[in-house]
Structure 1
Amino acid sequence: MASSADLSVAVVAGEPSGDLLASRLLGGLRPQLPEARFHGIGGANMLAQGFESHWPMDKLTVRGLFEIIPRYRELKGIQNTLCEQLLAERPAVFIGADYPGFNLGLEARLKEAGIPTVHYIGPQIWAWRGGRIKKIIKSVSHMLVVFPFEEAIYQKAGVPVTYVGHPLAEVIPLNPDEAGARRQLGLPEDANVVTLMPGSRMSELKYNTAAFVGACKLLKQRDRSLRFIAPMAGEKQRQYFLQLVAEAGLQDVEITLLDGQSHTAICAADAVLVASGTASLEVALFKKPMVIAYKMMRASWEIMRHMGYQPWIGLPNILAREFLVPELLQNAASAEALAEAMWQQLSDAPHRLRLAQRFSDMHHSLLRNSAAEGAAAVMKVINSK
């Protein structure tokens, strides 16, 4: 292999969860490629690893079938421009950090041109859109997966694969310090705390905020001692959240908004109302009761609700293969239903103890040195070239 000074590694992350995944992988790669250039598209966590981002990551952050349509030309333009740059540069490897709708198409063009591609993490073909495996075979030189059961799926399809564990299982302590989190946020240790996590994407805030805050209003009527906190992904999200609360006429609901600090907010909670996605796994790793909810554009929902292969959408339930925690989706995710489900999570002490044990077992099953194992797999790809 050439000196690392002669190498570049291209990476694309399109949303905060991918930024976190990629940053840890870059942290594992940097000692082995100390002089290599790491560049592409990424967020704050990747930038902290010396990464050079050619576009702001939030240019790519969009979710939902119909929500993408007005952004398609812009996103396709970014993809084409980046692809042309990489074809000319010929990096040692391209790493797609999640964001499969964008990255798999880019990876296919690069792989066809002889540039090795690594995808981290595996798209959830076990949950929906299993036909994507055909595209993955054409696009991906090596797949990095974060759940143990995924390895066999890709091996069967003939895609080289490595299970690296889930980085969140390393970031989140096995025994979280709830009292310390409450002190950090200025909350009394004996407070009754509910954390709201309606999503980091603007589209998630649009559809989830009113129901989430409406549930808080109803919960407060049951227990005046409840305190509500909500971590915001950025100033733009904070202002939009406040706008949506005002439009729903819910300004009287007292919610403390935090600048980031999502893990501290989860750790401090008695229970969490969370939008489906990676955040629900974070809540499970903090061993907290939760209600998983999700709403989206109606047209997108009508299509996507027929595409699932299993009865669960929340990662904790998928890993457990049962409904450990409630899932309320679309029309079912009314303020009234969310409040009732959250009340059960707050008031059922035996259930809370059972959940904590199940989530602890889940945590151990996902715990690996993901940075080291992922970096080792990427280095094999580079060296084989």
Structure 2
Amino acid sequence: MASSADKLSLALVAGEPSGDMLAARLLSGLRPHLPDARFHGIGGPQMMAQGFESHWPMDQLTVRGLLPVLMRYRELKGIQNTLRDQLLAERPAAFIGADYPGFNLGLEEQLKAAGIPTIHYIGPQIWAWRGGRIQKIIRAVSHMLVVFPFEEAIYQQAGVPVSYVGHPLAELIPLTPDEGAARRALGMPEDCNVVTIMPGSRMSELKYNTVAFVQAAKLLKARDRTLRFIAPMAGERQRAYFLQLVAQAGLQDVEIQLLDGQSHTAIAAADAVLVASGTASLEVALFKKPMVIAYKMMELEWQILRHFGYQPWIGMPNILAREFLVPELLQHAANPEALAEAMWKQLSDAPHRLRLAQRFTDMHHSLLRNSAVESAAAVLRVIERAK
């Protein structure tokens, strides 16, 4: 296949770190088959480590939330239109949108209409909210790659070609994490009591979650003076903003060890994790850790979005389990007292911790595939059919 694909061009777009990780795994699977292909578009450091050319900084696309997106609509639309025109002129063998559906589906719809095969890697959560988006997906996507097994039937029923390729995180995270090694790596005694707090990697998440999370840590510390708190920071901007928010709230006396990145080490080291809803909650489950999932946002955005959900869960571990395995506290419910009380139960209920570990182990096995190989094979099949 590689000999017939010399000088092949594939375009990809990732708009945030999770998509960068997904696309990088895909590229690592494609490169052996397409050694001379050009991979380009918009991506992050993990994609560029695979030889990817990014025409814009990925950070320029990274924005979350209805109102923040609306405020930057003209800028994002300008990037989308410029890239569309470049790709229509170039006509790559395929376009691959790595998550980021608000941007990628619109681009994919235009490219597919022009005869360019389009692949979307990670199905938008139409099973959670915005089910009407399936009509746009039908128009936009030539082939869908999904990371959860239950999603295959949803897209098959809608007539969208689909492949379940497993979740890359299930490969990156060991089935039996080494808690002791993680604590040693962080300079902690192996027998200490550790709580990891993860208010989010986006600035908007930090804005709304940080103070409540740190106040909850202060309440927990008052109940158990031996507790140690750690918080991984996604970058220097996030660290500075976190410290600013803590200072403004007068919470500088809460001892929290801030880490540069190292989110997986921070989760592995924990007895329990207070985590913002999102991919991080799945990571915590794969590390077999008790957790409390929480999320706060701008009040107007909350009032709009709270009516769109199709199911009672927002945390991926609960969605996969189809039950409230771990607590979810949202918006007004995510107050410091409630967060601290829920975390205390996660820390102190030993039988519950054992049951969670077994459920999360079963979940891990269900998501475990060689995603680089599986996703690359699906992309190669699409390219072959389009010749």
Q: Same fold (TM over 0.5)?
A: yes
- What is the match of residue 233 of structure 1? 234
**Whole-Å Cα distance in 1 between the matches of residues 10 and 259 of structure 2?**
35
- What is the match of residue 147 of structure 1? 148
- What is the match of residue 367 of structure 2? 366
Which deviations, in whole Å up to 9, do the C-alpha atoms of 1:277-322 show, x marking residues without a partner?
1100000000000000001111111111100000000000000000
- What is the match of residue 276 of structure 2? 275
**Whole-Å Cα distance in 2 between the matches of residues 31 and 150 of structure 1?**
28
- What is the match of residue 255 of structure 2? 254
Give 1:180 shift. 0.6
**8 Å CA contact 1:178, 1:267 repeated in 2:** yes
- What is the match of residue 206 of structure 1? 207
One-letter code aligned to 2:52: F
**8 Å CA contact 1:14, 1:42 repeated in 2:** yes
Q: Does 319-328 or 58-67 show the bigger shift? A: 58-67
- Is the aligned partner of 1:128 residue 2:125? no
- What is the match of residue 289 of structure 1? 290
Unaligned runs of 5+ in 2: none
- What is the match of residue 331 of structure 1? 332
> Identity over the aligned pairs, expressed in percent?
82
- Is the aligned partner of 1:216 residue 2:183? no
One-letter code aligned to 1:266: I
Q: Secondary structure at the match of 1:358?
A: helix
**Whole-Å Cα distance in 1 between the matches of residues 174 and 83 of structure 2?**
38
- Is the aligned partner of 1:377 residue 2:365? no
One-letter code aligned to 1:4: A
Give 1:3 shift. 4.0
- What is the match of residue 56 of structure 1? 57
- What is the match of residue 104 of structure 1? 105
One-letter code aligned to 2:276: A
One-letter code aligned to 2:114: A
- What is the match of residue 312 of structure 2? 311
Tell me how many residue pairs correspond in the alignment: 385
**Whole-Å Cα distance in 2 between the matches of residues 173 and 368 of structure 1?**
13
Give 1:5 shift. 3.4
What's the TM-score once normalised by structure 1's chain length?
0.99
Which deviations, in whole Å up to 9, do the C-alpha atoms of 1:312-371 show, x marking residues without a partner?
000000000000000000010011111111011001111000000000000001111111
One-letter code aligned to 1:267: A
Give 1:382 shift. 0.7
**Whole-Å Cα distance in 2 between the matches of residues 127 and 177 of structure 1?**
33
One-letter code aligned to 1:147: F
- Is the aligned partner of 1:264 residue 2:265? yes
Give 1:88 shift. 1.0
- What is the match of residue 40 of structure 1? 41
**Whole-Å Cα distance in 1 between the matches of residues 152 and 196 of structure 2?**
34
- What is the match of residue 28 of structure 2? 27
One-letter code aligned to 1:341: A
- Is the aligned partner of 1:168 residue 2:169? yes
**Whole-Å Cα distance in 1 between the matches of residues 245 and 115 of structure 2?**
48
**8 Å CA contact 1:10, 1:93 repeated in 2:** yes
**Whole-Å Cα distance in 2 between the matches of residues 234 and 7 of structure 1?**
35
Q: Secondary structure at the match of 1:131?
A: helix
What's the TM-score once normalised by structure 2's chain length?
0.98
**Whole-Å Cα distance in 1 between the matches of residues 256 and 58 of structure 2?**
28
Give 1:48 shift. 1.0
**Whole-Å Cα distance in 2 between the matches of residues 163 and 337 of structure 1?**
38
**Whole-Å Cα distance in 1 between the matches of residues 314 and 60 of structure 2?**
26
Which deviations, in whole Å up to 9, do the C-alpha atoms of 1:70-105 show, x marking residues without a partner?
111111111111111111111111100001000000
**8 Å CA contact 1:15, 1:58 repeated in 2:** yes
- Is the aligned partner of 1:340 residue 2:341? yes
- What is the match of residue 17 of structure 1? 18
Q: State the 4+ residue runs in structure 1 displaced beyond 4 angstroms.
A: none
Give 1:45 shift. 1.0
Give 1:64 shift. 1.1
**Whole-Å Cα distance in 1 between the matches of residues 52 and 166 of structure 2?**
23
Q: Secondary structure at the match of 2:72?
A: helix
Give 1:187 shift. 0.9
One-letter code aligned to 2:41: G
**Whole-Å Cα distance in 1 between the matches of residues 138 and 187 of structure 2?**
51
**Whole-Å Cα distance in 2 between the matches of residues 315 and 10 of structure 1?**
29
**Whole-Å Cα distance in 1 between the matches of residues 238 and 90 of structure 2?**
36
Q: Secondary structure at the match of 1:6?
A: coil
Give 1:4 shift. 3.3
**Whole-Å Cα distance in 1 between the matches of residues 142 and 247 of structure 2?**
49
Q: Secondary structure at the match of 1:10?
A: strand
Q: Secondary structure at the match of 2:97?
A: strand
One-letter code aligned to 1:255: I
**Whole-Å Cα distance in 2 between the matches of residues 134 and 21 of structure 1?**
24
**8 Å CA contact 1:137, 1:159 repeated in 2:** yes
- Is the aligned partner of 1:159 residue 2:187? no
**Whole-Å Cα distance in 1 between the matches of residues 198 and 49 of structure 2?**
25
